[in-house]
A and B are shown apart, each in its own frame.
Chain A
Amino acid sequence: MNEDFDQGLEVLNGQIDARVSSYFSSCVHCGLCAEACLFYTETGDPKYTPIYKLEPMRRLWFQRHTLRGKVAKRLGLSKEVTRQDFADWEELVYDSCTMCGRCSMVCPVGNDIVYMIRREREGFSKAGYAPEGMKAATHRALTIGSPMGVTLKTLRAVLVHVEKSVGRPVPIDLKGVDYMALFSSMEIVNFPEYIESLSRIFDAAGVSWTISSEAFEATNSGIQIGNREAAAELVGRVVNAAEKLGVKYVISPECGHAYMAIRWEGPNLIGRQYGFEVVHILELLDQLRSSGRLKLKDKTDTPLTLHDPCQIVRRGGVIDQPRNLLNEVASRFVEMKDHGDMNWCCGGGGGVSANDRAEPLRLKVFQRKKRQIEELGVDTMVTMCANCRIILEEGLEHYEMDTEVKMKSLTDMLAEHLEPSPG
């Protein structure tokens, strides 16, 4: 354990690059990041102030990267980072941060606090101070290919039902098609109707696509736990499969962090550009809509709202597309008070949903989302992240709200309003 801690400390130190150093040196201690953080606003506990979650890394930066800190350490004026600090901060680094990025949006000096949390997790994970659930999920992702243990056999079993329902085979390992679709394990296990929806929409819009039997899993546990090698390995599998099939695009599914991993972090992780482009499913569907290939009919008059998944909307920039699409199929779509790039997280992002220990805290902070929904009085909430959907369903069930609120996938909803192709 001592050895692990020493290695973890060195890894943490190695994460302190020019960007992290400039962030720490420019922090003006205004405390505004606290007001933006779900965990602080819902608990009122100052230990959940985002910049405070970075205290071990900040102290290391001070002692090893600044002259004042080096002197202070020699004089015994700055406390060394210890194993106890890692143990004390593990909850703050993993349980109380969904890496939603709201704090980064309001920092008046432009510090990307999430970037630093992500970096800090690298050191904590190396030292062994990470939640057991996340460690196990990462292990399964690397050894089995899915954080939930989903295998190709499982996927094929699901596809049998999908094919029966849509009446045609789902393409697997087709070379030279335009798109390769990825799924999250949650979609395969909990929401296989997403695959069915995709199949129906692509057929109607004339999209050539395939699933790869070698890489169908979109999620990346390495990103969440903070294990760069694991993250690179998981991205590499997708890249190799896509390039082997010669597709032009890889479709990131209704999953928040998967999009961040494959779209934004991936090329840096593997150290090169891809031989294809990455699109989020809703970016593609909105392109198909605007080009007239995706034809939708009828609008539901059910009052509904949209929950913005942080990694897709705030960190990913897919803001207008879901709204364009939802307005095509819903006549009574209302926005939450804080929406778009200032949405409030469901509370389960950044690996928190894979961390059993964090459940009581996660349910406590869910009260923010509960209030947001109650203010609108809608009975349906649409989203485009399977993880958000499960967390929201659990939260709604936990609080036994007066009005039953149904959760829906936006892609599924579009498939329900699909105008059949003439052929």
Chain B
Amino acid sequence: MNQAAETTKPSQEIDLSGLTCPLPILKTKAALARLGSGELLKVIITNPDSVREFGVLCNSPGVKLESFQETGASWIYQIRKL
């Protein structure tokens, strides 16, 4: 794992509050595609229907879920691109 992979500071943060399916997933995948290997993406979503989809996305090859937080009406994911 390279130096960037060690960082706990997100390289990018996207606030997808208010967006509904399929936009949270599509925008997150697009953001991940732009990141370099080892970089961290912070995503904020408020659409409960997207939580299941994020569960699958975060378990897929090429990414790693570093942290997950539920704060009232929003869900915050920190996803590292491997």
A105: chain B residues at CB < 8 Å are 52
A32 and B53 within 8 A (CB)? yes
A106 and B56 within 8 A (CB)? yes
B5: chain A residues at CB < 8 Å are none
Q: Which of A28, A30, A44, A105 has the most CB of B within 10 A?
A: A30
What is the chain B residue whose CB lies nearest that of A108? Answer: B22
Q: Please report the C-alpha to C-alpha distance between residue A383 and residue B25 in the assembled complex, in whole angstroms.
A: 34
Contacts A30-B29, A108-B50 known; A36 to B22 CB distance under 8 Å? no
How far, in Å, is A109 (CB) from chain B's closest CB?
A: 5
The verdict on B72 contacting chain A, using a C-beta distance below 8 Å, is no
A41: chain B residues at CB < 8 Å are 60
Binary B-proximity of A95-114 (CB < 8 A = 1, otherwise 0): 00000000001101110000
Nearest 10 CB-CB pairs, A to B? A108-B22, A35-B60, A108-B21, A106-B56, A108-B25, A28-B22, A35-B56, A109-B22, A106-B53, A36-B56
B52: chain A residues at CB < 8 Å are 105-106, 342
How far, in Å, is A15 (CB) from chain B's closest CB?
A: 25
Please tell me the number of chain A residues within 8 Å of chain B, measured between CB atoms: 14
Binary B-proximity of A2-44 (CB < 8 A = 1, otherwise 0): 0000000000000000000000000010111001100001001
B59 and A32 within 8 A (CB)? no
A28: chain B residues at CB < 8 Å are 22, 26
How far, in Å, is A409 (CB) from chain B's closest CB?
A: 30
Contact of B59 among A31, A35, A44, A110 (CB under 8 A): A35
Binding site for A on B (CB under 8 A): 21-22, 24-26, 29, 50, 52-53, 55-57, 59-61
CB<8 Å pairs between A and B, sample of 25: A28-B22, A28-B26, A30-B25, A30-B26, A30-B29, A32-B56, A32-B57, A35-B56, A35-B57, A35-B59, A35-B60, A36-B56, A41-B60, A44-B61, A105-B52, A106-B56, A108-B21, A108-B22, A108-B26, A108-B50, A108-B53, A109-B21, A110-B21, A342-B52, A342-B55
B21: chain A residues at CB < 8 Å are 108-110
How far, in Å, is A417 (CB) from chain B's closest CB?
A: 35
Q: Please report the C-alpha to C-alpha distance between residue A110 and residue B20 in the assembled complex, in whole angstroms.
A: 12
Q: Please report the C-alpha to C-alpha distance between residue A36 and residue B56 in the assembled complex, in whole angstroms.
A: 6
How far, in Å, is A48 (CB) from chain B's closest CB?
A: 14
B56: chain A residues at CB < 8 Å are 32, 35-36, 106
Q: Please report the C-alpha to C-alpha distance between residue A28 and residue B52 in the assembled complex, in whole angstroms.
A: 17
How far, in Å, is A112 (CB) from chain B's closest CB?
A: 14
What is the chain B residue whose CB lies nearest that of A105? Answer: B52
What is the chain A residue whose CB lies nearest that of B50? Answer: A108
How far, in Å, is B13 (CB) from chain A's closest CB?
A: 21
Q: Please report the C-alpha to C-alpha distance between residue A31 and residue B59 in the assembled complex, in whole angstroms.
A: 14
How far, in Å, is B34 (CB) from chain A's closest CB?
A: 16
9 additional A-B pairs beyond A30-B29, A32-B25, A35-B56, beta carbons within 8 Å, are A28-B22, A28-B26, A30-B26, A32-B53, A32-B56, A35-B60, A41-B60, A108-B26, A342-B52
Q: Which of B53, B55, B59 has the most CB of A within 10 A?
A: B53
A109: chain B residues at CB < 8 Å are 21-22
B61: chain A residues at CB < 8 Å are 44
B26: chain A residues at CB < 8 Å are 28, 30, 108
What is the chain B residue whose CB lies nearest that of A341? Answer: B52
What is the chain B residue whose CB lies nearest that of A110? Answer: B21
What is the chain B residue whose CB lies nearest that of A27? Answer: B22
How far, in Å, is A20 (CB) from chain B's closest CB?
A: 18
What is the chain A residue whose CB lies nearest that of B63? Answer: A35
Residues of A223-249 whose CB lies within 8 A of B: none
Q: Please report the C-alpha to C-alpha distance between residue A41 and residue B56 in the assembled complex, in whole angstroms.
A: 11
Q: Please report the C-alpha to C-alpha distance between residue A406 and residue B26 in the assembled complex, in whole angstroms.
A: 43
How far, in Å, is A307 (CB) from chain B's closest CB?
A: 19
B29: chain A residues at CB < 8 Å are 30-31
Q: Please report the C-alpha to C-alpha distance between residue A108 and residue B25 in the assembled complex, in whole angstroms.
A: 7
How far, in Å, is A198 (CB) from chain B's closest CB?
A: 35
Q: Which of A105, A106, A108, A110 has the most CB of B within 10 A?
A: A108
Residues of A55-87 whose CB lies within 8 A of B: none
What is the chain A residue whose CB lies nearest that of B29? Answer: A30
Q: Please report the C-alpha to C-alpha distance between residue A108 and residue B52 in the assembled complex, in whole angstroms.
A: 9
How far, in Å, is B45 (CB) from chain A's closest CB?
A: 12
Q: Please report the C-alpha to C-alpha distance between residue A386 and residue B16 in the assembled complex, in whole angstroms.
A: 44
Q: Please report the C-alpha to C-alpha distance between residue A192 and residue B21 in the assembled complex, in whole angstroms.
A: 47
